[in-house]
Amino acid sequence: AREVSGRPSRGGAARDAGRSGGSAATATLTAPVDVAPPAVPAPDRHTARQVLAAWSPFYVLTVLVFVWSTPAFKALSAPGGPLAWAVVTVPMPGVTGQITTAGGVVVANAWSWTPIGATGTAILLAVVITALTSRALTRAVVLEQLRGTWRDLWKALVLIAAILVLAQIANLSGGSAGIGGALAGAGAWFPLLAPVIGWVGVFLTGSVVNNNTLFAQLQATTAGRIGVDATLLVAANTAGGAAAKVISPQSIAIAAGAVGLTGRESEILRASIGYSLGILVVLSLWTFGLSQLLPG
């Protein structure tokens, strides 16, 4: 006869252990577990002196550009000025003195290089001062930054040069004046088109200043002919030009190169042209409405 005792058999003990182990594992998996959130690093603290030092290149740049932009400094490189000797002027064959504008003015365009008076010299000088005074900018770092800038922007520089050539051809051939004259024939509806002229001008030249140089007089003359306030149309010319800055090939090329998107200029243009056209429509309607209210 098999002896029966109060102790569980070895097999029963194993089964009981398995069941209790599974229950424990299940309880472990289903029990809520408190997980501490990752520690957030404390923000860096900078002294006022460190902040001022970090911004110092922009202080230097602002001061130098301001000085270079003053009439007194520009007069130094003007004809007869003490720095006029540093201005290099080369007449352009087939252009200088051989083209007459629509207004009867003989074009005196010549290639001019002003190594001291140019605003770019102020920017270059700010870079040199920053490189010489900053402890973090070693010679190797500066040279690497220059190489990286050229590597990222050389395509944009070539594109900008080509666009400037196109703008000069459009200006000197009478193309820009022809476009403006055709739009000016709209008569009383011209205020609707005034921002469009500025928009086209900045798209071609990439500069609101150049746009006003080309078309501001046209806007003022047309305003007098149709009995509209000249200030309104000149302002519309400027505003329309500002709306075109976001799609100007020059601006897009510079922006693409600065953020490492060189070669994707067409994508940027497609993404921004809708906003530019929307602003242009609002400006045109607003200018037309004001032209009906403001006396000429």
- pLDDT value, residue 285: 95
pLDDT for 271-288, tens place per residue? 999 999 999 999 999 999
- pLDDT value, residue 68: 93
On whether the CB atoms of residues 233 and 198 are closer than 8 A, the answer is no
Burial 44-71 (b: 16+ CB within 10 A, else e): eeeeeeeeeeeeebeebbeebeeebeee
- pLDDT value, residue 216: 81
For residue 260, what are the contacts with CB-CB under 8 A and spacing of at least 6? 152
- pLDDT value, residue 17: 45
- pLDDT value, residue 27: 47
- pLDDT value, residue 228: 86
How far apart CA 270 and CA 24 sit, in angstroms, is 62
Predicted model pTM: 0.56
- pLDDT value, residue 254: 80
Q: Which of 248, 39, 36 is nearest to 163 (CA)?
A: 248
On whether the CB atoms of residues 197 and 180 are closer than 8 A, the answer is yes
How far apart CA 222 and CA 118 sit, in angstroms, is 34
- pLDDT value, residue 136: 80
Task: Report the relative pairing of strands 110-113 and 88-91 from DSSP bridges.
Answer: antiparallel
- pLDDT value, residue 184: 66
- pLDDT value, residue 60: 94
Please report, for the chain, how many H helices and E strands are present, in that order: 11, 2
Q: What are 114's two structure tokens?
A: 């002003």
Residues of the chain short of pLDDT 70, as ranges, are: 1-40, 42, 101-103, 171, 174, 176-181, 183-184, 295-296
Q: Between the CA of residue 199 and those of 214, 230, 271, what are the distances in Å?
A: 12, 18, 17
Q: What are 182's two structure tokens?
A: 């055709």
pLDDT for 179-214, tens place per residue? 666 766 777 888 998 999 899 888 877 778 777 877
